Structure 1
């Protein structure tokens, strides 16, 4: 049986919208003032990158517990190239997984990243349909 997500997005005036989420939370979408918006919300294309990092990050964080990994800090940097012609889309995306800690198990952390990007992260799979992905894992030992 398939799952359906239903999102409702309401125009608030000018270039601003409010969109809900199955979590019960909602957020505002807007564009920059120089583009005719009020700059009061999140940009749609950038939200896609947050979704990508968030989806994969949740997978990796869940594996911290399962694999008994010690990580002091974890962040994901997502850098995307936007095409010049309309409709503009991301054609190349770099995803950097940064792990900080004194006792980093690099082999297991890399396995956690690999499992997310190869098996679990559905948003990653969606991005593969239109962008070239470059994955990097960086270990910062304190």
Structure 2
């Protein structure tokens, strides 16, 4: 399987990119307040892709385990090198789960399966960065 996207320069430092599903979004850099394009930064978008990839795994695994979630969020922080080309050298992925009577054992298992087996984006990140992960539970 392959993925193909098309990215088109719009103006200034703004690009419009599609994805294999046909949806479009803007990438680039803008200092304009209230920029109508609202571009996403390319490097930060990589961090969002990592979170979404792992999050999709975790949610689908927990659904199969019949585990319900209250709230679930993922925070990803990437540290860039000082020299050009600036790349992420360290990435920290924090999984936050909150709710009542959380099944921590099954949630931990779902996260580990994503980290170790299923998340292709995480595997790609490991090719160029140290990836650290943490899991946090909050019982309401």
Task: Confirm or deny a common fold (TM above 0.5).
Answer: yes
Query: Please, what is the CA RMSD of the aligned residues?
Result: 1.5
Q: Gaps spanning 5+ residues in structure 1: where? A: none
1:92-117 deviation line (CA, Å, top 9, x unaligned):
01100000011111111000000001
* The one of 94, 106, 115 aligned to 1:117: 115
Structure 2: tracts of 5 or more residues without a match: none
Q: How many residues align structurally?
A: 138
Contact 1:77 1:95 in 2 (8 A): yes
The match for 1:95 among 93, 96, 103 is: 93
Between stretches 129-138 and 62-71, larger displacement belongs to: 62-71
Q: Map Cα deviations across residues 3-42 of structure 1 (whole Å, 9 max, x no partner).
A: 11111000012111000001110101121328xx987300
- Given that residues 14 and 30 in structure 2 are in contact (C-alpha distance below 8 angstroms), is that contact kept between their aligned partners in structure 1? no
Q: Corresponding residue for 2:18?
A: 20
Correspondence for 2:137: 139
Moved over 6 A (4+): none
Cα deviation per residue 1:100-141 (whole Å; 9 max; x = unaligned)?
011111111000000001000000000000000110000111
**51-60 or 66-75: which moved more?**
66-75
1:1-142 correspondence to structure 2 within 5 Å = 3-33=1-31, 40-142=38-140
Measured after TM superposition, the shift of residue 70 of structure 1 is: 2.2
Q: Is the 8 A contact 1:93 1:132 kept in 2?
A: yes
